[in-house]
Amino acid sequence: MTSKKLSVLDRLKQDSFKKKESIPKESISSKEFEITVVEKDFILENDIIFNYDDIHDLEMKKDLLNYETRLNIAKNNYHTKAGEILFEANEKYANNKNGTFGIWLDYMKIGKKSAERLVNRFKFINNNCLTLEEKTYFETLPLSLTYEISSPNANEELINAVMNKQIKTRKEYITLKNTLKNNISKNSNLGSIEKLFNKLNLNISNLIETKIESSSLDSNKAKSVYERIELLNKEIKTLLNEIEKLD
């Protein structure tokens, strides 16, 4: 029985499989100390939900909480030390015009954003964790949360909430962050409407004054118009206040 001739597509598939099999696996030791772990540890918004209150075994609950704290400290201590080293290197050579520092980061397999986050995190500790107690508490926080509050754009209210132990997870941080953002957006929109409203009133007042000066509108008529505008203004301001109170 003659064998069926392989199509070009089948041959390409076989070749690709061979190439994949022939690629040597990197040894684990070669990646053991890479700082690219920063990217992997920086958890996205879809955090895994784990509730310790669901654990009925009290001993297990206590142990796992303790293990989490110890693991956070171990990870954070590493990233703090890495941030200290990169901060020193950055201060000394980042402004070098020949690009050697950037090439060195690539050689060390440290992305630019990772380096910035590590440096910002180290600077945050120096500037905000002034006591041993504050520094120790910061190091017990989830790594992803420490990156959030050490960002140069972090909200001061959110930073205080974390350091005052009101927020202990990144999920809680993001929830409050979005709430504050929505409140600011709502107030900003209402403020914009109020500015437009005041501008309209000013334009109407200027128009009436011009009409009076040109004798095309007598003062009694102008007074009547102003009174009607005042009533409308009060109604609109009342409506704006009611809208502002809505969730």
Is residue 89 classed as helix, strand or coil in its secondary structure? helix
161 Cβ contact partners less than 8 Å away, ≥ 6 residues apart? 167, 173, 176
- Structural tokens at position 184: 């600011």
How long, in residues, is the chain? 247
Query: What is the per-residue pLDDT for 32?
Result: 36
pTM here? Answer: 0.54
Give the CA radius of gyration of the chain: 31
The phi and psi torsions of 5 (rounded to 5 degrees) equal -70, 130
> Cα 114 to chain center, whole Å?
15
Q: How far is the C-alpha of 80 from the C-alpha of 73, rounded, in Å?
A: 10
The whole-number pLDDT of residue 37 equals 47
Beta carbons of 40 and 109 less than 8 angstroms apart: no
| Distance in angstroms (rounded) separating the CA atoms of residues 145 and 110 | 20
Q: Where are the domains positioned within the chain? A: 52-165, 178-245
Distance from C-alpha of 47 to C-alpha of 29, rounded to nearest angstrom: 29
pLDDT per residue as tens, the chain (247 positions): 555 555 545 554 555 444 444 444 444 334 333 444 444 444 444 556 778 888 888 998 888 888 888 888 888 888 999 999 999 998 888 777 778 888 888 888 889 999 999 999 999 999 999 999 999 999 999 989 999 999 999 999 999 999 999 998 999 999 888 888 877 656 556 666 677 777 777 777 777 677 666 666 667 777 777 777 777 777 777 777 776 666 5
Q: So what's the pLDDT on residue 126?
A: 93
Q: Return the closest-CA partner of residue 101 out of 119, 76, 80.
A: 119
Which residue type occupies 189?
N
CA atoms lying within 13 Å on the CB side of residue 163:
20
Give the pLDDT confidence score for residue 134 in this predicted structure: 93
CA distances to 90, 127, 166 from 94, rounded to whole Å, are 5, 21, 37
